[in-house]
């Protein structure tokens, strides 16, 4: 069997995911998106050395255009404590609204906080005030 087939039939199939965000966000405001990645902590993955170890997790979070990861100097100290050493990345340099994190240890990071900066009318006159969808993708395992 191949990696995708194995992953589709064991630890990734029909897994719940949970995201917590504010229901109302003001312009140019910092807020947190909290992603919970529930899984059976007893599950193990085969590590590079051939031994069994804890699962890795990863997240892709897609906000509407105009939302982006907050700059480090804007983040509150209590939020900085939650995200220390997390490898946040933009999916693409021109797509700052698509954020990727991982792979990180699932045992330590089964809950991941994304500090997000909301839309700013001063920098983008093309924004509209709507109910915006947020998309999330999660990975449990090696992320093959």
Euclidean distance between the first and final Cα of the chain, in Å? 13
Record the tokens describing residue 46, joined without a space. 């085969």
Reported as a single tens digit per residue, the pLDDT across 26-80 is 888 999 999 998 888 888 888 889 899 888 888 999 998 889 999 999 999 999 9
Per the structure, the complete domain to which residue 110 belongs is given by: 3-140
Across 78-99, average pLDDT: 91
CATH number at residue 48: 2.60.40.830
Nearest alpha-carbon partner for 94 in 65, 115, 118? 65
Q: What angle do CA 59, 56, 85 make, to 5 degrees?
A: 70
């Amino acid at each position: 069997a191949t990696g995708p087939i194995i992953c589709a039939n064991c630890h990734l199939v029909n897994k719940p995911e949970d995201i917590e965000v504010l229901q109302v966000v003001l312009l140019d405001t910092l807020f947190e998106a909290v992603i919970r990645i529930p899984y059976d902590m007893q599950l193990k993955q085969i590590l590079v050395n051939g031994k069994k170890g804890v699962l890795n997790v990863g997240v892709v979070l897609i906000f509407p255009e105009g939302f982006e990861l907050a700059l480090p100097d804007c983040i509150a100290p209590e939020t900085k404590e939650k995200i220390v050493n997390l490898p946040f990345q933009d999916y693409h340099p021109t797509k700052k609204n698509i954020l990727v994190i991982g792979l990180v240890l699932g045992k330590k990071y089964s809950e991941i906080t994304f500090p997000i900066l909301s839309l700013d009318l001063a920098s983008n006159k093309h924004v509209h005030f709507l109910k915006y969808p947020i998309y999330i993708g999660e990975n449990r395992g090696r992320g093959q």
